[in-house]
Structure formats: C-alpha cells, structure tokens
Amino acid sequence: MTEERAESRTGTKTGVRLRKLLTGQKRYPVVFAGLILLYLILLFVVSCIPNEWLSGNYEESMKEFTKGMYWSVDDSLVGTQMDGGTDQLILSNCVTDESHSAFYNMLDVKDYARYWHGYLVPVRPLLCLMTYKHIKYISMILCFVLLCLVYEKVGKAINRGVGMALIVSLCMGNIIVIPLSFQYMSMYYITTVAVLLYCLAAKRGRPDAGLFFLAVGSVTNFIDFLTSPLNSLGMLLVVAYLLYVKQAPEERGLKRILFLLKNSVAWVCGYGFTWLAKWCIASVFLRRNVILDALDTILFRTAGNEEYPTDRLGTIRVNLGYMLPKGAVAVLGALVICWAAVLLFAWVRDRRRQGTRKCLEENEKGAGREDAASKRIPRRYPPETGRELWRREDKNTIVESLPVLLVAAYPFIWYLVLSNHSQIHSYFTYRTLETSVFAVLSFMAVCARKRKGAALAA
C-alpha cells in the first residue's frame, strides 16, 4: 500500500509539472521544442526507407519531365506556369546517398541543408506506392474536397460571404495548377487545413490563437520551399480575426489591433526560429557552417547581386501582373462598383423597413391596437437624412472590419523585403497576393451582408 501511494503521489506530481509547463508563457517554448523533435523523428523515419523500395516509381516519375520544366497549362494565362525544375528536385531528393547514414541524409539532403525538406515526409512513402502522375491525381481530388470543406466551415463559423471570398481568392491564384505540382500544393494544403482546424477549434470555444499561429508558422517552414508561405499567416489571420470579433464583441479598439499584431509575431517567430533551428542542428552534426550559407542566401534573396539587380517596385508590378492579367482589373473594378451599389441599396432598404416599423409602433401608441389594425399604415417612412441613413450599427460594422484591411498590406511588405526572390520567381510568388484579395473581399462581405442584431453576428 505504501509503495502504491508513493507511485500515485509521483504520478500526481508529474501531472502537475506537465500542466505548469503547458500553461502561461512557458507553453510556447515547450510546444516549439516538441515540434522540432517531431520533425527530426519524422525525417529520420522516412530517411530509413531503402532506395530500392521506390526506385521503380522514381524512374517512371522522372520521365514526366521530358516535355519541359516550365510549361504552362494555358499559354494565355501567365499564372498557370509550372515549376517542373523544383518538382524534379523534390523527386531527386527522395533518393538518398546510401554511403551515409539516415541521420546524415535527413540533415544534408544532397548539400541542401538550409531547408528542412519536410515534403519528404509524405512524398517518399507515397513514391514507394505510386508514381508522380498518380500522386498528382490523388492531389487533384483532395484539393477540391478541401475547397468545399473550407467553404462550409468558414461559412458556418462567420458567414457564407467570407467563405465565398476565400474560394474566389484561391481560384484567382489559378487553382487548376495547384494539384499538378509538389511545389504549389504544399502551401495550399497547409493554409486550407489550418483554416479548417481553427474553425473547428473556435466551435468549441476561443482557441489559443498565439500558440496556433506559432505552430502553423513552424509547420510552414518545415514543409514549404519558399513559394507563398505568407498565405498561411494572412488568410488564417483574417478568419481568426473575424471569429475573434464575433466571440469577443466586448473587446474593442486597441485590443483588436493587438490581436492581429500578436498573432503575426507568433507566426513569424514560429517560421523564423524553425529555420534557425535547422541551421544550428545541421551545423553541429554536419560539421560545416550551414548558418553562414543560409545568411548568404538571405542576403541574395533580399538585396540581389549584379546579375540579378533588385527592383522593389518592379517586383510588386510583376507579381500584380501575374495575379491580375489583362482585362482582370476592369472586371474587378466592375465588381467593386456592383458591391458598392448593393451595399447602398441594402442600407436604404433596411432603413426604410425600420422606418415602417417605427410608424406602426407610433400608430399603436396613438390609437390603440384595435384601431391601429383598421388605420392605413404608410408603406414608407419619410426619407431619412444622411445622418439617419449612416446609423451607428453601420459604422460599427465597418470600424470592426477595418483592421482586416491591414492584413491586405502583408504581401506588399513581403515583396519589399524578399524582393529578389519574388522578382526571379514571380510566376509562383504572385500567389501571396491571395491574402490581399481575401482580406479585401472579406471586408466587403462582412459590410454588405444583412445585419441582424450585433455587428458580425452570424
């Protein structure tokens, strides 16, 4: 009995210690360290797979690139260009150097040690079972299933207008080519799955947004090859903010701006420290200066060189050109005008209806309920003045939604910082602008919908 009580007390103390670690600010480094350990374990496991298990499918898959590396699905749409060079690199990295250990291979990845190469976790086992062509076919089905699920969950959690805004923004990034490339599909899956999980967590209560963004930033760096990583921050942040306003209407003003900033910093920390962790781990175990190699690459990606001079404003123009080809600007302008007209009509209609109800209440007060039924009720209330039309509820709805537009500026900040990379690889970095499109369309959707009670209520 004494031994059992001692073991029980020991177990209780351990549980208390774990709860202390997972509460307060301590949980952030604990979760981050847990993610790094998980990445190392996953990469080590897939690196232990023998090359002969996937050699047949690998050789068959490499034949897919004989028709070219950078072909377009539709030559008339510049944004449909494929990145076959990176896909070929991903496939070639699946074949390890058997003269080295699995641990060495998972850190080195053929002298490309500055990246985590987390894509190997799903791709290498899949290549044992099927070819590149079959993986793309499965990805095509999964891509559109996720699109439907995202629309449903976001529509229920916030409103269907925001769900439609998310679909439109993803489609503007030429979603038809996403399932056809390893390079493109990674960020699509990370972003959509993150949005789905956040909506599910919000359904059970207010989630720990900071911890969630830290984890998403970390996973993004683990898997992505620097395509459009900002989407996993921006698009998720718009959804998280609108849910925050809905779940905590009493928190206003500066607290809402701090919500955006805090979660943005959490994502940046998760993304940046995960990258730094890989450089440090690789430098220690590979016995070479991976940190210096990474810093040289960062300097090139931000400042350029003589062969690739940096034009920061030109980078923004090029990416906008991919996102908005000729004719698209006119179409979007027409849509904005239609949105403004619908919004104005909705405001006027709501005010008229409220005026009619006010007349009915006045008639009931003046003549009694029975007499009011026989009296002629005016169909319209006298025209409102501009001040009456611009009601407090309308102002609140717009003011509450305005911080969303701050997120629309994130891609442009990204282009100004990583200008060289976004200029050279603009044929896929333009998809970062999906965040801007989603932020603007979500603002329009929240403002234009019919309000029932409190602003932003579903």
Convert the pLDDT of each residue in 74-88 to its tens digit.
777 788 888 888 999
Q: Tell me the pLDDT band of 2, cut-offs 50, 70 and 90.
A: low
Query: What pLDDT, on the 0 to 100 scale, is given for residue 457?
Result: 40
Beta bridge partners of 72: 81
Query: Which one has a higher pLDDT value, 384 or 418?
Result: 418
Q: Six-digit token pair at 221?
A: 């760096």
Backbone angles phi, psi at 304, to 5 degrees: 80, -165
Query: What pLDDT, on the 0 to 100 scale, is given for residue 346?
Result: 65
In the predicted structure, residue 211 carries a pLDDT above the cut 90: yes
Q: What per-residue string of b and e applies to 359-381 under the rule 16 or more CB within 10 Å gives b?
A: eeeebeeeeeeeebeeeeeeeeb
Q: Six-digit token pair at 456?
A: 């932003």
CA dihedral 49, 51, 52, 55 (to 10 degrees): 120
Summary mean pLDDT of the chain: 82
The residues, ordered by sequence, that sit 6+ positions from 112 with a Cβ below 8 Å of its Cβ are 93
Q: Tell me the pLDDT band of 400, cut-offs 50, 70 and 90.
A: confident
Average pLDDT over residues 166-175: 91
Distances (CA, A) of 357 to 363, 367, 390: 10, 16, 18
Q: How far apart are CA 263 and CA 145, in angstroms?
A: 28
Range from 170-174, 301-305, 332-336 that averages highest in pLDDT: 170-174
Q: How far apart are CA 127 and CA 72, in angstroms?
A: 25
C-alpha angle 420-423-429 in degrees, rounded to nearest 5: 110
Query: What pLDDT, on the 0 to 100 scale, is given for residue 10?
Result: 52
Digit-coded pLDDT (tens) for 322-362: 888 776 667 777 777 776 776 667 666 666 665 555 555 55
Residue 76, number of CB atoms within 10 A of its CB:
8
Q: What per-residue string of b and e applies to 145-179 under the rule 16 or more CB within 10 Å gives b?
A: ebbeebbebbbebbbebbbbbbbebbebbbbebbb
Q: How far apart are CA 195 and CA 210, in angstroms?
A: 14
Query: What pLDDT, on the 0 to 100 scale, is given for residue 421?
Result: 86
Average pLDDT over residues 416-441: 91
C-alpha count within 13 angstroms, C-beta hemisphere, residue 397: 24
Length, in residues, of the chain: 458
The residues, ordered by sequence, that sit 6+ positions from 343 with a Cβ below 8 Å of its Cβ are 444, 447, 448
Query: What pLDDT, on the 0 to 100 scale, is given for residue 377?
Result: 46
Q: How far apart are CA 329 and CA 307, in angstroms?
A: 32
Residue with tokens 């509460």: 23
Average pLDDT over residues 163-169: 91
Q: Tell me the pLDDT band of 118, cut-offs 50, 70 and 90.
A: very high
Q: How far apart are CA 198 and CA 204, in angstroms?
A: 10
In the predicted structure, residue 399 carries a pLDDT above the cut 70: yes
